[in-house]
Amino acid sequence: MSTRIALITGGNKGIGLETARQLGRQGITVLIGARDQARGTEAVNALKAEKIDAHLVNLEVTDKASIASAAAAVEKQFGHLDILINNAGWLDYAGESVASGVSDDTLRKTFDINFFGLVAVTQAFLPLIKKSPAGRIVNLTSILGSIAEHADPNSSIFNAKFLAYDSSKAAVNMFTNHLAHELKGTKIKVNAAHPGWVKTDMGGANAPLELGDGAKTSVTLATLADDGPTGGYYHLGVHMRW
């Protein structure tokens, strides 16, 4: 177990790929979880060209059979997992609406990817993480999942109301808190990471942060020392308001 193994869901592009790159540069073997095999292979090849030990894991976070198959494949090849970064996410700008008008379809699809899929992946891989000498679970959330921020008229996101996305990330925060509580006293640390407003397909070209900065919080939480925190909600070293 001298080499750490990290799985990043939705790791074939954007923040996920940059997170894999930064971890790989630290000598960590990175597993790119991707539902699109062609894009996943392209990402793996790009990382390998940078001398990073990268592998593709076919993984659709809303498909239980795909999750089970991915967990079995990782167990067979590596025997354990040190780091799980639940990065895959979804925001449907076109489907979002005021709270009284958001559709059932938008709510369900958003929760399926951002929350139910995240929980299912974590539960499937937890037995492998328990085999690690120092397991780390990082759940990608958002400042938009903070009820305290949404309730504060002085907050920068006070008027940014996307009910499906925001509530799914609030649920991720709650899962993070509960799982960390369950695993207290073990060597596994569970934290939520807000990457910031980053230039990605989701964030758009006007976002203030570059990919390198967007991956920093996840990388930091994935590589915490034994005396590091658990059960927290962070952005670039700062604990966020729940």
Q: Which residue ranges make up each domain of the chain? A: 5-239
- Model's pTM, two decimal places? 0.96
| pLDDT single digits (tens) 116-135 | 999 999 999 999 999 999 99
Helix, strand, or coil here: 167?
helix
Q: Are 74 and 31 in contact (CB under 8 A)?
A: yes
**Per-residue confidence at 210, pLDDT binned at 50, 70, 90?**
confident
| pLDDT single digits (tens) 88-109 | 999 999 999 999 999 999 999 9
Q: Are 140 and 15 in contact (CB under 8 A)?
A: yes
- Rg (C-alpha) for the chain, rounded Å, is 17
Whether residue 198 is predicted with pLDDT greater than 90 in this model: the reply is: no
Contacts 24+ apart (CB under 8 A), 213-221: 214/15, 214/18, 215/15, 215/18, 215/19, 215/21, 215/22, 216/22, 217/193, 218/15, 218/19, 218/85, 218/87, 218/138, 218/140, 218/193, 219/19, 219/22, 219/23, 221/136, 221/138, 221/189, 221/191, 221/193
Please give the positions annotated as active site.
165
Q: Report pLDDT for 201.
A: 75
* CA geometry: angle 198, 37, 69, nearest 5 deg: 105
The domain defined by 5-239 folds into Rossmann fold (3.40.50)
What is the pLDDT of the chain when averaged over all its residues? 95
